[in-house]
Structure 1
Amino acid sequence: MTFEYERTVTTTASAADVWALWSDIGTWHVWDPSIERVALEGHFAEGAAGTMGLAGGIEAPFTLEVVEPGARFLDRLTIGDLVISIDHVVAASDGGAEVTVSTVVEGPGADDIGPMVTGDTPKALAALVGMAEQKS
């Protein structure tokens, strides 16, 4: 089973300010209500691995599968038989940036779990761009 979700927002913040928050795992719990803590082994770079502490006491190992500094990163979490891939893309636009998050949940029960995984995405994006706009 596969569940897919995508959300795009525009912001007056620069792509660089959005990227600065994305690439600083210490801020993730501030703007994403589903994350309680993140630990990453090494730098924010392709192949780096770590653990996310998610709401509800769930611990999920993750890997940064793709990192294109300033533009995109894709992280992949594994929770039991589920694989959750979250692609984050930021691109400069007139007067700011366009921010897109695409989530794919694969595995048994993906159609049931997917809406729970992505339920906070609108709140997370709003908080992320709000913080980025304060920096700009």
Structure 2
Amino acid sequence: MTTIATALITTDVPAAAFFARWADMATWPSWNTDTEWVRLDGPFETGATGALKPKGGPTTKFVITSLVPGREFTDVSLLLGAMLTFEHLVRTAADGLTEVRVRVTLAGPLAFFWRRVLGKGIADGLPADLTRLEAAARAAGVPA
């Protein structure tokens, strides 16, 4: 497994607001600018499947491999010969602020190829996506 990107922000926006944005996958294109659309086949839970369409790329299937509500979730996109994994973590720090961390990894026999194709774009875009996610979470507020 190779890490291709990480991003971290610290904010006063509550963790629940981030989780609400992540769970509403249809809204991802509003803050993830390289995503055309996302479809989740069922509820936001471990084992759920879906598909997404990156701008300029083919439709890609994914699965939510783990989910701890309000704290973390991991989704894995199934590429030809590789798995692209996004780990999403939120936690409340000792100072009461929220830390949001995203880590992207690649694994599999063709990971080297996909790193060349996708790696730089993901690494370059991830910090700005996280900043836009923070703005979307702030605007939406904490779910009831």
Tell me if both proteins adopt one fold, taking TM over 0.5 as the criterion: yes
Secondary structure at the counterpart of residue 36 of structure 1: strand
Unmatched 5+ stretches in structure 2? none
Q: How does 1:1-136 map to 2 (within 5 A)?
A: 2-93=2-93, 94-106=95-107, 107-112=111-116, 113-134=118-139, 135=141
**Bigger mean CA deviation after superposition, 63-72 or 125-134:** 125-134
Q: State the alpha-carbon separation in 1 of the partners of residues 112 and 60 from structure 2.
A: 17
| Runs of 4+ with >4 A deviation | none
Q: CA deviation at 1:95?
A: 4.1
**Bigger mean CA deviation after superposition, 66-75 or 88-97:** 88-97
**Bigger mean CA deviation after superposition, 107-116 or 37-46:** 107-116
Contact persistence 1:86–1:103 (CA under 8 A): yes
Secondary structure at the counterpart of residue 91 of structure 2: strand
TM-score by length of 2: 0.86
Alpha-carbon displacement from aligned partner over 1:37-94 (angstroms, at most 9, x marks no partner): 1111110000000100111042110000011100000000012223100000011233
Q: CA deviation at 1:5?
A: 2.1
Q: State the alpha-carbon separation in 2 of the partners of residues 50 and 133 from structure 1.
A: 26
Q: State the alpha-carbon separation in 1 of the partners of residues 115 and 60 from structure 2.
A: 19
Amino-acid identity (%)? 29
Contact persistence 2:8–2:127 (CA under 8 A): no
Q: CA deviation at 1:115?
A: 1.8
Q: State the alpha-carbon separation in 2 of the partners of residues 11 and 3 from structure 1.
A: 24
Q: CA deviation at 1:108?
A: 3.3
Contact persistence 1:15–1:96 (CA under 8 A): no
Contact persistence 2:3–2:103 (CA under 8 A): no
Unmatched 5+ stretches in structure 1? none
Task: Provide the alpha-carbon RMSD of the alignment.
Answer: 1.7
TM-score by length of 1: 0.91
Q: CA deviation at 1:21?
A: 0.6
